[in-house]
């Protein structure tokens, strides 16, 4: 493994903790009805957003999914604006009009996220085409889940990206389920990383719960894209530790999370944050007390984000159509 500065490793750790604690802080307000929009928590998948975004520059583009709080935070989005958006407030990153599934911060390259599965893939493709035409050397990352591998638009986009050698990274977050459908029931083989090959796209499959592996494969892929050797397809293997939507998939009193308990327990042991903590301590990079201090600092930041969101105003109903596109 390459030598990294402890400063860099601490930043990786802190980013994953910021995502995790922010996600977990939403559980209570979802359950007590303070948060009304559907929320897809990213707990368990933090290493992917973190490792990928650390390999990008601020100018590079990221397009997300319905489960994008982590992408937004890792790309540099403000936690206060994220939490305010989830509470539907005017100070939110989409001015309270979008909610959890429409997080964006174009200034920091988090161009947008939408709930339509596969919906942002062709948008990311367009951004990559634009930056190639403008010779900007920007790289675009298109995040999507394993569920999007069942959408035709992905294959059309792979073809066009391969044909035009676009600087785009197709980043598939394979958590083995699309809503409650296990991957074994919708694909003959668990082999998503192979779908880039017919389109002449360099492809990799890596452990998405190992933040350094995620960072390294992405850094390499960004290098290829910047040298005009893109696109690249990366499949990150991971697992969500919460329900598909909301903390535990209790929809109108019926429990719909059908994942086996043993499977969830197996993946809990591979928790990307606990694994990275163990790595940092074992290699004497950071002392346990320092990690605990970081956790406390982040807890404070999360608390302040909720206070900010709660004291922010709701949008003015008279401005309902203010940001709606008009010719």
Ligand X SMILES: Cc1ncc(C[n+]2csc(CCOP(=O)(O)OP(=O)(O)O)c2C)c(N)n1
Distance in angstroms (rounded) separating the CA atoms of residues 104 and 106: 6
Residue count, binding to ligand X (CB under 6 A):
15
Residue 226 buriedness (CB in 10 A; 0-12 / 13-18 / 19+): middle
Distance in angstroms (rounded) separating the CA atoms of residues 177 and 222: 28
Contact (Cβ atoms closer than 8 angstroms) between residue 120 and residue 142 = yes
Contact (Cβ atoms closer than 8 angstroms) between residue 51 and residue 12 = yes
Output the smallest distance, CB 219 to Mg ion, in A. 25
Question: Residues 3-32: x/- map of binding to ligand X (CB under 6 A)?
Answer: ------------------------------
266: Cβ contacts below 8 Å, ≥ 6 apart: none
Does the footprint of ligand X cover residue 145 (CB under 6 A)? yes
Phi-psi region of 289 (alpha: psi -120 to 50; beta: other; left: phi over 0): alpha
Residue 232: strand, helix, or coil? strand
Distance in angstroms (rounded) separating the CA atoms of residues 210 and 89: 35
Query: Residue 203's binding partner, choosing from Mg ion, ligand X, none, with beta-carbon cut-off 5 to 8 A by kind?
Result: none
Output the smallest distance, CB 66 to ligand X, in A. 5
Contact (Cβ atoms closer than 8 angstroms) between residue 208 and residue 172 = no
From the list 76, 86, 85, 106, the residue with the least C-alpha distance to 94 is 85
Match 């601020």 to its residue by tokens.
58
Question: Residues 284-323: x/- map of binding to ligand X (CB under 6 A)?
Answer: ----------------------------------------
Of 175-234, binders to Mg ion (CB under 5 A) are 175, 178
Q: Which stretch binds ligand X (CB under 6 A): 10-18, 54-62, 76-84, 173-181?
A: 173-181
Output the smallest distance, CB 191 to ligand X, in A. 15
Q: Which stretch binds ligand X (CB under 6 A): 9-17, 115-123, 196-204, 283-291?
A: 115-123
Q: Dihedral, CA atoms, 28, 34, 37, 41, nearest 10 degrees?
A: -20
Question: Residues 64-103: x/- map of binding to ligand X (CB under 6 A)?
Answer: --xx------------------------------------
Question: Residues 112-151: x/- map of binding to Mg ion (CB under 5 A)?
Answer: ---------------------------------xx-----
Does the footprint of ligand X cover residue 242 (CB under 6 A)? no
Of positions 117, 171, 195, 206, contacts ligand X by CB under 6 A: 117
Bridge partners of 236? Answer: 173, 206
Does the footprint of ligand X cover residue 177 (CB under 6 A)? yes
Match 């035709």 to its residue by tokens.
152
Given the rule CB under 5 A, which residues bind Mg ion?
145-146, 175, 178
Given the rule CB under 6 A, which residues bind ligand X?
40, 66-67, 115-117, 145-148, 175, 177-179, 244
């Amino acid at each position: 493994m390459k030598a990294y500065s402890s400063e860099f490793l601490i930043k990786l750790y802190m980013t994953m903790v910021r995502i995790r604690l922010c996600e977990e802080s939403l559980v209570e307000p979802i359950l007590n009805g303070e948060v009304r929009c559907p929320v897809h928590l990213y707990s368990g998948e933090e290493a992917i957003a973190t490792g990928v975004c650390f390999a990008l520059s601020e100018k590079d583009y990221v397009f997300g999914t319905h489960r994008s709080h982590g992408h937004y935070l890792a790309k540099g989005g403000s936690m206060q604006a994220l939490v305010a958006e989830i509470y539907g407030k005017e100070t939110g990153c989409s001015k309270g009009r979008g909610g959890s599934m429409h997080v964006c911060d174009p200034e920091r390259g988090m161009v947008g996220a939408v709930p339509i599965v596969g919906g942002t893939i062709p948008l990311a493709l367009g951004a990559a085409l634009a930056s190639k035409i403008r010779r900007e050397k920007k790289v675009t990352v298109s995040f999507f889940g394993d569920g999007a591998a069942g959408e035709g638009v992905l294959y059309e986009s792979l073809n066009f990206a391969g044909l035009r050698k676009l600087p785009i990274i197709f980043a598939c977050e394979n958590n083995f389920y699309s809503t409650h459908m296990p991957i074994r029931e919708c694909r003959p083989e668990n082999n998503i990383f192979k779908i880039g090959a017919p389109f002449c796209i360099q492809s990799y499959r890596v452990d998405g719960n190992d933040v350094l592996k995620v960072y390294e494969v992405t850094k390499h892929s960004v290098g290829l894209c910047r040298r005009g050797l893109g696109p690249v397809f990366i499949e990150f293997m991971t697992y969500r530790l919460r329900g598909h939507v909301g903390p535990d998939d209790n929809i109108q009193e019926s429990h719909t999370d059908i994942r086996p308990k043993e499977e969830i327990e197996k993946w809990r042991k591979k928790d990307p944050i606990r694994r990275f903590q163990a790595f940092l301590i074992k290699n004497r990079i950071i002392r346990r007390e320092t990690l605990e201090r970081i956790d406390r600092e982040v807890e404070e930041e999360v608390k302040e984000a909720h206070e900010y969101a709660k004291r922010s105003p709701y949008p003015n109903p008279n401005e309902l159509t203010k940001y709606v596109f008009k010719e």
